[in-house]
């Protein structure tokens, strides 16, 4: 019979070998390479190593979008998002041109039928250009949702697309004093609002309230600085244009527009410029992957 005193060295050896094995495993799991990969897998990524995304969006469905803005974009093979209200004269009169715009890869987005907005501001300032019939303060949530649904049907008849994004008219989210954001979520893959800022954080972003900068009479350099801010944050910069080189009472010069576009073209390696629908599709899929 083996006595405990005789077997002690053997038992110690077994414990020592176990300790070596466990400590080796610990070192493998804690190696810097493995940690970096795990960290990377948990981080929001833009396609092809881009550091930020940029969306160029154009509101109110005017001829200048077809003739000037889209042409500037296509010169460097970029695409934009064009938000036309159902009551747009250009959409009615040049429907084939709008259809062709989508066929060339641009996005036609929902901007309501009648472009309703809050007409009387809290400070009593009144948007005289808006018919009182289309004052959002006199709408109901159900009424604006029904209008936006019909606008989706109208736009689908133009371009055949079953999915749509929305641009809030005048950045307003209240109908009859009540938020309609939740009511319209099922209608749109994403929605753009104002706020004049970049997206602060991709994880906490509400994809139906994506901020944008409404640019009016600003320089190309100022717009480039806005893009650099998004690049620094690793998020996205959304521009809200109206007229480019005229055609609206809210305009940016064609020179400034082209300057921004030239910058985006020259930095494709780190800036992904896509339509709002494309970029937001990626955002939704990354957030799903990361479990946000
Ligand atoms: Zn508008």
Q: How far is the CA of 170 from the centre of ligand 1 (A)?
A: 6
Angle, in degrees to the nearest 10, between helices 141-159 and 95-103: 80
CB atoms within 5 A of ion ligand 1 belong to: 59-60, 169
Residue 13 lies in a domain: no
3-state secondary structure of 282: helix
- Structural contact between residues 245 and 257, judged by C-beta atoms closer than 8 angstroms: yes
Q: How far is the CA of 76 from the centre of ligand 1 (A)?
A: 26
Q: What parts of the chain have a pLDDT lower than 50?
A: 1-2, 4, 11-37
Q: How far is the CA of 85 from the centre of ligand 1 (A)?
A: 8
Residue 25 lies in a domain: no
Q: How many domains does the chain have?
A: 1
The string of pLDDT tens digits covering residues 163-173 is 999 999 999 99
Residue 201 lies in a domain: yes
- Count of CB atoms within 10 A of residue 208's CB? 21
Counting every residue written for the chain, the total comes to 292
Q: How far is the CA of 64 from the centre of ligand 1 (A)?
A: 14
Q: How far is the CA of 114 from the centre of ligand 1 (A)?
A: 10
DSSP percent split of the chain into helix, strand, coil, nearest 5: 50, 15, 35
Q: How far is the CA of 188 from the centre of ligand 1 (A)?
A: 17
**Alpha-helix residue ranges (DSSP H) falling in 104-241:** 141-159, 181-184, 220-233
Residue 273 lies in a domain: yes
Residue 250 lies in a domain: yes
Residue 270 lies in a domain: yes
- Count of CB atoms within 10 A of residue 46's CB? 21
Separation between Cα atoms, residue 123 and residue 28, nearest integer Å: 64
Q: How far is the CA of 270 from the centre of ligand 1 (A)?
A: 31
Q: How far is the CA of 47 from the centre of ligand 1 (A)?
A: 30
The string of pLDDT tens digits covering residues 177-192 is 999 999 999 999 999 9
- Structural contact between residues 219 and 246, judged by C-beta atoms closer than 8 angstroms: no
Q: How far is the CA of 104 from the centre of ligand 1 (A)?
A: 23
Which residue has 């062709």 as its token pair? Answer: 100
Separation between Cα atoms, residue 3 and residue 231, nearest integer Å: 72
- Given this model, what pLDDT does residue 7 score? 57
Q: How far is the CA of 247 from the centre of ligand 1 (A)?
A: 13
Residue 169 main-chain phi, psi, to 5 deg: -70, 130
Q: How far is the CA of 216 from the centre of ligand 1 (A)?
A: 13
> What does pTM read for this prediction?
0.86
- Given this model, what pLDDT does residue 40 score? 65
Residue 40 lies in a domain: no
- Given this model, what pLDDT does residue 202 score? 96
Structural domain containing residue 279: 54-290
Separation between Cα atoms, residue 235 and residue 53, nearest integer Å: 7
Q: Which residues contact 247 (CB under 8 A, 6 or more apart)?
A: 62, 63, 64, 68
What CATH number corresponds to the domain at position 250? 3.20.20.370
Residue 6 lies in a domain: no
Sign (positive or negative) of CA dihedral 90, 95, 101, 106: positive
Q: How far is the CA of 172 from the centre of ligand 1 (A)?
A: 10
């Amino acid at each position: 019979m083996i006595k405990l005193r005789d077997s002690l060295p053997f038992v110690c050896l077994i414990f020592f070998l176990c300790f070596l094995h466990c400590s080796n495993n610990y070192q493998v799991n804690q190696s810097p390479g493995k940690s970096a990969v795990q960290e990377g897998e948990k981080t929001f990524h833009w396609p092809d190593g881009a550091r930020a995304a940029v969306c160029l969006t154009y509101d109110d469905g005017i001829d200048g979008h077809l003739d000037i803005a889209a042409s500037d974009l296509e010169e460097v093979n970029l695409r934009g998002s064009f938000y036309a209200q159902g009551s747009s004269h250009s959409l009615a009169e040049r429907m084939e041109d709008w259809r062709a715009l989508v066929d060339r890869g641009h996005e036609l987005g929902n901007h309501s039928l009648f472009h309703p907005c809050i007409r009387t501001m809290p400070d009593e300032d009144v948007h005289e250009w808006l018919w009182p019939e289309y004052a959002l303060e006199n709408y109901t949530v159900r009424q604006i949702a029904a209008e936006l649904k019909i606008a989706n049907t109208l736009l689908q008849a133009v371009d055949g697309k079953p999915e749509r994004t929305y641009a809030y008219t005048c950045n307003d989210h209240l109908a009859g004093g009540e938020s309609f954001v939740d009511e319209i979520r099922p209608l749109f893959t994403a929605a753009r609002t104002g706020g004049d800022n970049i997206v602060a954080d991709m994880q906490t972003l509400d994809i139906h309230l994506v901020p944008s900068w409404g640019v009016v009479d600003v320089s190309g350099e100022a717009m480039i600085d806005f893009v650099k801010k998004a690049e620094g944050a690793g998020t996205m910069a959304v521009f809200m244009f109206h007229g480019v080189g005229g055609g609206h009472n809210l305009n940016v010069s064609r020179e400034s527009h082209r300057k921004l576009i030239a910058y985006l073209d020259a930095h494709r390696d780190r800036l992904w410029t896509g339509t709002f629908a494309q970029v937001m599709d990626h955002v939704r899929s990354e957030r799903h992957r990361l479990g946000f």
